[in-house]
Amino acid sequence: MEENYDDLVSKILKERKTGSGNRFEPPDIDVFQVGQKTVVNVEKFAKYINRPVVHISKFLMHELTAPGQVDETGKITLGGRFSKRVVMEKMDHYVKEYVICKQCGSPDTQMRKVDKNFFIKCLGCGAEYPVGRLK
């Protein structure tokens, strides 16, 4: 089951890269190093996938075990140097975990918070399920 889901996600991500007219085509993310810090601009990406920049930043900090901060324009500054490839791998992981519906593979989902838990609701098939919490 898990493998099928992975296949589905790679297919979606591959279609995105080839630009085959797939409707799920998140914009590119700017990643650049400044001294011993890495700046990741997720403003457009966050808007496209309809997720809060703060949530994405917490995910990145958690995954990269790096301290970080967010400004109001959607720029995340992480302590440490990370390549664009590493950041993009994490963002693919984010999309897979928090955006794409695990039931039908649709990227057309919403995230909502109930108490301290996050739920993903799919607008395609109507599935709703909890996702992991980030500290």
Out of 125, 129, 130, 132, name the contact with Zn ion by CB under 5 A.
Answer: 125
- How far apart are CB 8 and Zn ion at their closest, in Å? 11
Strand partners, 121: 110, 128
Q: For Zn ion, which residue of 124, 129, 130, 132 counts as binding (CB under 5 A)?
A: 124
Segment contacting Zn ion (CB under 5 A): 30-38, 45-53, 84-92, 124-132?
Answer: 124-132
Looking at residues 92 to 121 of the shown chain, list those that interact with Zn ion (rule: CB under 5 A).
101, 103-104, 106
- H-type alpha helices, the chain: 2-18, 43-49, 53-64, 84-98
User: Exposed (0-12), middle (13-18) or buried (19+): which is 91, by Cβ within 10 Å?
Assistant: buried
Paired tokens of 92: 């693919």
If one asks whether residue 22 binds Zn ion (CB under 5 A), the answer comes out as: no
CA 106 to chain centroid: 14
Our finding on whether 122 is near Zn ion (CB under 5 A) is yes
Binding stretches for Zn ion (CB under 5 A): 101, 103-104, 106, 122, 124-125, 127
